[in-house]
Structure 1
């Protein structure tokens, strides 16, 4: 999977399948560590594709794979990897950000949350997995627009979208309240917004419209 020609190929279906396979491997702590510490790190393909808007299908698969590698599907006590793997994860994310027009991870994250609902949902999962890391939490809190989106119960209209956004919001709030930022007056407004959003739950009705969660037919069976 290190063939650069393969990853740049126009066969989107093959690339998506490969990214999904890497995500499956990365869902375990051993697999995630392997992907981050291989030479060169296989996780680079996932991270590069996760922040590349050129191929939506590949970006979706990569965002979900990155969420798995970051520990979104693992028990909380196994989300964080060993220090060398964690350094690799951080370095790879900052490297792709530095090569982008956004320059910072926070800029890339915001651009993902401003895309269509299915990309945003994958972005929520990625944030949920990564936010236990202090450096990533700082990136999230450095952009008020990110906090505004994840705390807004009217952002998503499908049941899965609302619930995934809420899980993301809870993960950010938990990481925030466990960090040194909690006592910093500069972040007082963010602390209040997160607390209110968690208290309100995932299904807060739209003002005046009183929308109810949309449940796709397939989700009812």
Structure 2
């Protein structure tokens, strides 16, 4: 049991480190690394995926999002930065289950989890709308609409344009 817990902590630390490498701690203008570092980052992710049972980065990303809340939070953090890269955006959009997981309002119940999920949705949506190669593809219109709806709902799932409903009750008579 202790070994499994240590392995989970190592995996979570690796996801947080990958988030930092991918740009989480840098300004928005410097998320992308130099050309050689970007090639190495992409190679690292694809080689890791090929050695796993998931075989693809999208399979690995989905697997992370299906873990416990702490692991998902690290995954949101990592994906929020990796998605700025077109190859990663294509991996995420190629697996509808990932989009379903990040836009599912019932996935997270804690404040930090809701905010992490929301930030991930915003990052995917932003990358999707600015990527000319992806946004021009009509196959991604449904994904963009689903992400737009999730972004509009906000991190705490506030419904749009909800009208006030009067509560009318009759008085109880003896």
Q: Report the CA distance between 1:129 and its aligned residue.
A: 1.2
Distance 1:92 1:60 in 2: 17
**Highest CA radius of gyration, 1 or 2?**
2
Unmatched segments (≥5 aa) in structure 1: 1-10, 13-52, 207-221
1:146 to 98, 106, 127: 98
Runs of 4 or more consecutive aligned structure 1 residues displaced over 4 Å after TM superposition:
none
Which ranges of structure 2 fall in alignment gaps of 5 or more residues?
Answer: 160-174
Higher relative contact order (CA 8 A, sep 6+): 2
Render the CA deviation track for 1:118-149: whole Å, top value 9, x for unaligned.
Answer: 00000000001111000000000000000011
CA distance in 1, matches of 2:136, 2:154: 24
Superposed counterparts of 1:1-221, under 5 Å: 55-179=7-131, 180-204=133-157
Give the 3 Å change call, closer, same or farther, for CA 188–54 of structure 1 in structure 2: farther
CA RMSD of aligned residues (A): 1.8
Q: How far did residue 172 of structure 1 move?
A: 0.4
- 2:72 and 2:40 mapped to 1: Cα distance? 25
Measure, in 1, the Cα distance between the counterparts of 2:68 and 2:79: 16
Q: How far apart, CA to CA, are the structure 1 residues paired with 2:25 and 2:104?
A: 24
Partner of 2:167: none
CA contact under 8 A between 1:154 and 1:204: conserved in structure 2? no
Instruction: Determine the C-alpha separation between the residues in 1 that align with 2:101 and 2:62.
Output: 9
Q: TM-score, normalised by structure 2?
A: 0.85
